[in-house]
A and B are shown apart, each in its own frame.
Chain A
Amino acid sequence: MRPYVVGGACHRVQKQLDTSLSEGALSLSAELNAHAERCPHCGPALRDTEALFRRLRSAPAGVDLGPVPGVVDSVLRQIATPAAVHVTPVVQDPSVAARKRRQHTRWVIGQVAAIAAALCLALGGVTYLVLKANEAVSGTSPGQVVQRWVAPLQDWSQALFQKTK
């Protein structure tokens, strides 16, 4: 038995059979067909696929269409009455509409909160990284930098406290 070669006839038959399953139609060139007929790998796969397609195509032909005329008559009789003719207008219950609006508002608030939280986390992370980089360059620890940043605020609050006292 010859080995399976990528790009060889067996491989091409397999590819064609795969394509035929995606398309729902089998078309094999004469050359590949001739190969499949004598190949012990491709032959059964081709025959199974052909049988499947044949059975799928023949299945609807065997369906008993007995109920169809009755259904058609019944539908045509029903549409002859005015009740079936007009489309019932879809009137939405106000309480349902209000509930839907509330749900939508809650959803929007949730989305905004989630985005804000994500931004805060990202900003915090970036600040920490910058401070770490700064520590590596200048030797000043992140804590000291933050202390320097909040020092004016501390002075201001102390002054305010003194004044109030």
Chain B
Amino acid sequence: MARTEPDRREAFAALYSQLAPRLYRTALGILGNPHDAADALQEAGIKAFRYFDSLHDEQAGPSWMTRILVNACYDVGRKRSRAIPTGLDVIPSSGVEVTGIEDREMLQALQFLPDDQRTTVVLRFFQDLSIPQIAQVMGVPEGTVKSRLHTTLAKLRVALKDAGKEGAQ
């Protein structure tokens, strides 16, 4: 589809602005902190614009953007893990900015999971994607998505139950 540059920018801006809140929530679920999530959202936006011409089917826009975002999250996560401590004092972060105490516990519990398991759960519950959509975004068979979901949710159920017991004591 031949588009003029202003049309292309406008179409991208519309898609990106519409999806940004959802993408930010997803990035926050995967990365666990608002600064990295904002970085990933920005990186994904610029990368998506560069390759916007490769998106031929507009219906596939959300999945396509999500896939780019997930890769951007992994990149940001890798950069963060490679960061060299400077020895300077860092102001302690308030962590994930969520309202309820329960939500903070949930997001913290997610951070203990391996990347692929965490991403699967975040896509299922934060983006409300179906199993086939998650399989498409992550480039794995549906069976793999199901088994990852099962393993992860079973782990989370135990972790949150234990956390609840500790909280009650």
Q: Which chain A residues (22-77) contact chain B, with CB distance < 8 Å?
A: 22-24, 48-49, 51-53, 55-60, 62-68, 70-72, 74-76
Give the number of chain A interface residues (Cβ < 8 Å): 36
CB of A80 within 8 A of chain B?
yes
Residue from the set B12, B24, B161 with the largest chain A CB neighbour count within 10 Å = B24
Interface of A is mostly: helix
Instruction: Decide: A60 and B25 in contact? CB cutoff 8 A.
Output: yes
Q: Which of B34, B45, B49, B103 contacts A67 (CB 8 A)?
A: B34
Q: Which residues of A contact B107 (CB under 8 A)?
A: 59
Cα-based distance from A24 to B148 in the complex (angstroms): 10
Task: Tell me, yes or no, whether B3 is within 8 Å of chain A by CB.
Answer: no
CA distance A93 to B48 in the complex (A): 26
Whether A62 lies near B46 (C-beta < 8 A) is no
Q: Is the CB of B24 within 8 A of A55?
A: no
> Is B20 touching A72 in the complex (CB atoms < 8 A)?
yes
Query: Can you sample 9 A-B contacts with CB below 8 Å?
Result: A21-B154, A22-B147, A52-B160, A59-B103, A67-B34, A71-B41, A75-B41, A86-B50, A87-B50
8 nearest A-B pairs in the assembled complex, by CB-CB distance: A75-B45, A64-B97, A56-B125, A62-B98, A62-B99, A22-B146, A24-B124, A62-B103
